Structure 1
């Protein structure tokens, strides 16, 4: 912790062709405005170094990104699975498992909610449209501006996400085709979209292990209520 600001490690995107890691600055801005100090984590494969990072940081933010390798929940990768990032899969699954085990606050966004779930024993739809043929789904990968909400989510009473937003129904943005299929036993579902797709999960026992399928980092500048979940996260890291 630095002068009462908890240090938050943010997992980066990684460009394999350019050997570069990067992050959208809106994640960092949200953490700063919420009272934290954001630090972009290095891409690390060594378990020893990853364990050291778990000890040194006050909390972790799992950012959005590409699809997970289906091998991590015991499936083949079907034709509709997308881009995979092996470095991120290894690093983020390790961080998620250790953070939950040590009750270190962790916040997963989009890909991040999926990482949290798989790390603790849950499964995913590799593609919600191909694997939900018994019903018609709403559009979950919008072509509207990133800050614009395109569907609604119902939040469960007593959940962290509902307390943060102060509302049972919220309108969110959406940029995904994978989603949680079977929640890990340690997580409860605290938000669903109109078509039943899981949009939020929370750990049963950890003080803050929360995942959301939408992208609040792109929405808080237009709607300040979307900063509240970042504030709850950073506060839990104190």
Structure 2
């Protein structure tokens, strides 16, 4: 019995609701059944997906509109989609309330933080002095780029078994003020939050890098998805799904 994993999608300029196959490949390789969740502007539709899945991956993509955390935009802000923001925030809240396993990747960690009343640095390079590189251009998505320090006694440390790993990096925003019941569990060398976890009894984990892009070339990152799949299987077996 495999858990069904919902994967959120990106709304492109041409109105395609799509996602990189790296997400679906990684979920499948880790033992889950990947199902993509299209972006719908009818808010009630997310409940039907919550009934279908046993865990959810919130994927990368657009910047989250800063008015969701009480700020005006800085000039370095990139693309936004209020349709995606509204839908995913509602989807997250429903999954979170049911204690469904949740994995956030890049934008996904930021969405988790904003959904739980946290804030973001809209552009780390202009807002944080001394920031190192976090968004290399013309670099393959499976290239290791910078180091990440992982705190002991965390789920992330249990998964990797290392206090220091190297990851890829493709972001210009990051977590600023932590949301409710969240703790930062990993940082880059310049102090940028690279991972968060829930302080409650729930598998809720967000990472700022893109592990789904590295599972084939760097199999160590598949461990993150395997743990998520295992948590989703436990959730499925408990029959918690509505």
Q: What is the TM-score with the length of structure 2 in the denominator?
A: 0.93
Instruction: Tell me what 2:80 maps to.
Output: 84
Q: Deviations over 1:166-196 (max 9, x none)?
A: 1110001100000000111210000000000
SS of residue in 2 equivalent to 1:230: helix
- The 8 Å contact of residues 207 and 236 in structure 1, kept in 2 or not, is answered as no
Q: Which of 46, 55, 59 is matched with 2:55 structurally?
A: 59
- The 8 Å contact of residues 18 and 38 in structure 2, kept in 1 or not, is answered as no
In structure 2, C-alpha distance between the alignment counterparts of 1:68 and 1:27, rounded to whole Å: 20
Whether 1:222 aligns to 2:217 is yes
Instruction: Tell me what 2:183 maps to.
Output: 188
In structure 2, C-alpha distance between the alignment counterparts of 1:188 and 1:12, rounded to whole Å: 26
In structure 1, C-alpha distance between the alignment counterparts of 2:201 and 2:59, rounded to whole Å: 20
What is the root-mean-square deviation of aligned Cα atoms in Å? 1.1
Q: What is the 5 A alignment of 1:63-74?
A: 63-74=59-70
Instruction: Tell me what 2:71 maps to.
Output: 75
SS of residue in 1 equivalent to 2:205: strand
Instruction: Tell me what 2:34 maps to.
Output: 38
Gapped regions of structure 1 (runs ≥ 5) = none
Structure with greater helix share of residues: 2
Q: Which of 124, 130, 133 is matched with 1:128 structurally?
A: 124
Name which of structure 1's ranges 216-225 and 191-200 shifts more when overlaid on structure 2.
216-225
In structure 1, C-alpha distance between the alignment counterparts of 2:164 and 2:91, rounded to whole Å: 31
Q: What is the TM-score with the length of structure 1 in the denominator?
A: 0.94
How far is 1:95 from its partner? 1.6
Count of matched residue positions in the alignment of Structure 1 and Structure 2: 232
Q: What is the 5 A alignment of 1:159-238?
A: 159-238=154-233
- The 8 Å contact of residues 149 and 189 in structure 2, kept in 1 or not, is answered as yes
* Superposed structure 1 runs of 4+ greater than 4 Å apart: none
Instruction: Tell me what 2:3 maps to.
Output: 6
Instruction: Tell me what 1:100 maps to.
Output: 96
How far is 1:111 from its partner? 0.3
- The 8 Å contact of residues 10 and 40 in structure 1, kept in 2 or not, is answered as yes
Q: Deviations over 1:180-238 (max 9, x none)?
A: 00111210000000000000000111421100000001111111110001011111011
Instruction: Tell me what 1:29 maps to.
Output: 25
How far is 1:51 from its partner? 1.9
- The 8 Å contact of residues 100 and 206 in structure 1, kept in 2 or not, is answered as no
Gapped regions of structure 2 (runs ≥ 5) = 234-242
In structure 2, C-alpha distance between the alignment counterparts of 1:189 and 1:37, rounded to whole Å: 29
In structure 2, C-alpha distance between the alignment counterparts of 1:87 and 1:138, rounded to whole Å: 32
